[in-house]
Amino acid sequence: MPKKHLYPEVSTFTFFKNAKRILKNPLPFHRENFEALGDTFRLNLGFSKSVVFSRDPDLAIYALRDNQKNFRKSEIQTKDLAKYVGKGLLTSEGENWKMQRKLMQPAFHKKNIYTLLNFMLEAIDKEIARIEINKTTDVFPIFNDLAFKVVAKSLFSDAINSDEIAKLQEITEENQKMLVKELRQPYKHWWFLLNGSLAKNLRLSQQARDILDSIIKRRHISGAGEKDLLDMLMGLSYEDGTKMNHEKLIDEILILFIAGHETTANSLSFTIQLLAQNQKVQQKLADEVVLLSKNESSPFDILMSSPYTGYVIQESMRLFPPVYFIDRENISVDTFKQKEMPEGTNFLFSIYEIHRNQKNWLHPNDFIPERFENLESVSSFYFPFGAGPRKCIGSNFAMYEITLALHQLLKIFRIESIKPDIEIEPLISLKPKNALVRFVKR
């Protein structure tokens, strides 16, 4: 292969030399390599394995949308993640994914999500009532509980109890930590097998499936129509008229729990910190919220009449995208910008870097919600929910939940900053760390 067709490479020695810092936070290591080698480079992991990292938005669009038929999800999701959460919409490929996406798409249509708004609002208000005023508060635990309970309420209405929710949260967090270790320390796979940690986490996954199995069986027995997501999913039919089988239903619900709460909890935590540090933006947002509150707006009216809230959320997800990497693998040999991609090349697209690249954004590290007044002008390098046919099916659900949560928070509280920096913990998603603020009565 001609030299011009090869991506610049980071050696296996450099990878192992930086292994400890990569395990803690890989983003500075990636930034150094992007700055030194350009927008796309190959990281040699050893053992004949390598990954191509890219912050080129054109390549991301090519793989995710324009030539998406020649790209599939890598084993990071279809194998590594799937062993914990099953073969749901997020982790499946090929015909299985096509069938499930076509089946489930109607349940996540805007008009169906609108029917869940009262479920959302009830869970949001209950968690916001826990907030203590005039006290330094780490908001992530609050928003993590809030987001998990919104998903639980939207899925099951009152059919899930607090113990079941707590156990599902615990299992989700433990499995995520284990998966991060597996992905960042592939050379320790033998040790994870030997010391029993992998088997332990797989048993936890089975416990989660058992909880969901019990809830679904209770719904079948009761025959109650709750107009929640579980009812919607149970009522869906494939083209031949058959329903989702029991195991597949558990797969999809488990994915919804994990993906449905994680991005929202992270985004809310980052957004609140950004608002605390940018009082002018917070005041502009509060003015929009107060106006809607005076008019006693319904949840639907809030969503339809909160443009600035939308800009704030979009800008927050630009700076701190919950899904900060997207993985793909090309099925057959491909070429892009004169670079040949051998069959089976593993790609990791750094959404975090694409969203902060000064080639794409003016003042990329500044919090400027107004840049989203014209979404089309930035859409070619903005991927908070992915792009193409595999764009997140729950994007509307997440945006509606975050909008309602911010509305309920800002009409009660003013948020004050405690520290000048925003700390991150990159796990499977980009999580906040020490997300400290102070809430003051408005």
Q: Look at residue 45 in the predicted model and tell me its pLDDT.
A: 86
The residue behind tokens 């803690």 is 24
Q: Has residue 5 got a pLDDT over 70? A: no
CATH code of the domain in which 90 resides: 1.10.630.10
Residue whose C-alpha is closest to residue 349's, from 152, 72, 61, 54: 54
Task: Tell me if the pTM is above 0.85.
Answer: yes
- Read off the DSSP letter of residue 429: S
H/E segment holding residue 262? helix 246-277
Number of structural domains found in the chain: 1
Average pLDDT over residues 365-380: 93
Q: Could you tell me if 349 and 63 are in contact, meaning their C-beta atoms sit under 8 angstroms apart?
A: yes
> Of 393, 431, 420, which Cα lies nearest the Cα of 110?
393
Q: What is the band of 225 on the pLDDT scale with cuts at 50, 70, 90?
A: low
Q: Residue 2: pLDDT band by 50, 70, 90 thresholds?
A: very low
Q: What token pair was written down for 80?
A: 């590594």
Half-sphere exposure in the Cβ direction for 256 (13 Å, CA): 24
The token pair at 203 is 């048993």
Say whether 325 sits in a helix, a strand or coil: strand
- Contact predicate 312/281, CB 8 Å: yes
Q: Is the pLDDT of residue 3 over 50?
A: no
Helix ranges (DSSP H) in 135-196: 139-156, 162-184, 189-194
Residues 6 or more apart whose CB falls under 8 angstroms from that of 233 comprise: 104, 107, 244, 249, 252, 253
Separation in Å, CA 344 to CA 74, 349, 408: 9, 15, 47
Per the DSSP assignment, residues forming a β-bridge with 386 are 384
* Structural domain that includes position 61: 3-441
Section 105-122 average pLDDT: 87
Per-residue confidence at 1, pLDDT binned at 50, 70, 90?
A: very low
415-425 per-position pLDDT tens digit: 999 999 999 99
